[in-house]
Structure 1
């Protein structure tokens, strides 16, 4: 009888820890984002693993999220080999990662997402940095372009700067993205119209290294939608 009672108490204790961890993980994820419209989270771990703060896998499904100003329609992710400060969490303190974790999954961005993200530092800086690398005449000293619109098409995207920049810089730029390997992209500027004294249809090409923490398996550009599948390491 005492053994059955002991096992029942242990099971209740584990369920409580699982509930506390789920809540803490959701709070941590929400703290990393400005907004999450919908969030599902599932912890997969044994009793002993939960008590030690070592979680083999967490499945995450998020919709309508905003991360550092970047809008995401959908993210379906799996994080593995997670180590956290379980003792502190059970005392009501914030969750912290104790080491880097690999996160695998799929991310979907619509054309509306990208246009809503144009004001973000993350996306606007990435676009301007790419332009600096792609076009030799455009240097870091040049006036930073404010982007007005993005159109997604089959294997390429069109960028339109705000009206104030069209006469002095360009009226539009057409970019092709090619995934060379897990962390390297080839970017082609197929058409640049009315950029300073350059002729239209001038072509430029540049390579972008995303770093060893990134491993992209698929990158697809389709009308109205961008999808990405791969892995990224999240550091503490």
Structure 2
């Protein structure tokens, strides 16, 4: 009877620590985004692991989150062996990562949410770099390009933009087929640029490759009508 009481007390203590950590992790995740519709966090750990500041397994699901201007339709993440400042968390202080955490996950981006992101610094900067690589002879300024929308088709994306210059604004339609060369390198092929003054770049005339950096390990990048799906790993740094 006494043993059962001790086990129940121990389990209750574990639930308290787990609940505190889950709430702290949710709060920390919410500080990383400016908006989120649904956020679910699941932690699997023993009390000894939690009290030592190690979370061996965490699953995070979020929908309609906004991260630095990027509208993310749905994201499912799993991380293992997370080291945190447990002593501070149990005192009510904010959660903080002590080490880089490799996170495996899946991102689903609808065309609607992608278009809501075109004005974000992250996406517009990336698109501007594509323009500079496509037309190195032009002296583009990032503010002279207004990105209007992106259409997602089967294995193909079409970007619509307006280029403001000294004369009349030029309307551009830029189509391309993105694919992975490796887990850290993206290839844009079958690039075609059309404008209201005629074609600027013929189909398959040029290919561009971009290194995505050592903090990512992308396993899949799929475009289907109205949707983008990405699966892989990314490092979350403290």
- Pick one of 204, 227, 230 that aligns with 1:228: 230
The residue that corresponds to 2:160 in the other structure is: 160
Q: CA deviation at 1:141?
A: 4.7
Q: CA deviation at 1:8?
A: 2.8
8 Å contact 2:146–2:162 — kept in the other structure? yes
Q: CA deviation at 1:6?
A: 3.4
Aligned equivalents of 1:98 and 1:142: distance in 2? Answer: 37
Q: CA deviation at 1:138?
A: 3.3
Question: Deviation per CA, 1:36-92, whole angstroms, max 9, x where unpaired?
Answer: 100111001111101111011100111111111100110011011100000000000
Aligned equivalents of 1:41 and 1:142: distance in 2? Answer: 39
Does 1:175 pair with 2:173?
no
Structure-1-length-normalised TM-score: 0.92
Aligned equivalents of 2:56 and 2:134: distance in 1? Answer: 42
Supply the RMSD in Å over aligned alpha carbons: 2.2
The residue that corresponds to 2:195 in the other structure is: 194
The residue that corresponds to 2:46 in the other structure is: 46
8 Å contact 2:145–2:163 — kept in the other structure? no
Aligned equivalents of 1:97 and 1:142: distance in 2? Answer: 35
The residue that corresponds to 1:18 in the other structure is: 18
Aligned equivalents of 1:4 and 1:208: distance in 2? Answer: 60
Q: CA deviation at 1:133?
A: 1.7
8 Å contact 2:163–2:169 — kept in the other structure? no
Aligned equivalents of 1:60 and 1:143: distance in 2? Answer: 36
Change (3 A) 1:209 1:226: same
* Structure 1 unpaired stretches of 5+: none
Instruction: Give the SS at the match of 1:113.
Output: helix
Q: CA deviation at 1:168?
A: 4.8
Question: Deviation per CA, 1:119-156, whole angstroms, max 9, x where unpaired?
Answer: 11111111001211222223455754110111111111
Aligned equivalents of 1:99 and 1:196: distance in 2? Answer: 53
Q: CA deviation at 1:2?
A: 5.0
Aligned equivalents of 1:128 and 1:215: distance in 2? Answer: 23
Question: Deviation per CA, 1:141-181, whole angstroms, max 9, x where unpaired?
Answer: 57541101111111111111137579555521112211011
Structure-2-length-normalised TM-score: 0.91
8 Å contact 2:144–2:163 — kept in the other structure? no
Aligned equivalents of 2:206 and 2:197: distance in 1? Answer: 15
The residue that corresponds to 2:211 in the other structure is: 209
Taking the TM superposition and a 5 Å limit, the aligned residue runs for 1:114-125 are: 114-125=114-125
8 Å contact 1:147–1:161 — kept in the other structure? yes
Aligned equivalents of 1:75 and 1:107: distance in 2? Answer: 5
Aligned equivalents of 1:73 and 1:113: distance in 2? Answer: 6
8 Å contact 1:173–1:189 — kept in the other structure? no
* Structure 2 unpaired stretches of 5+: none
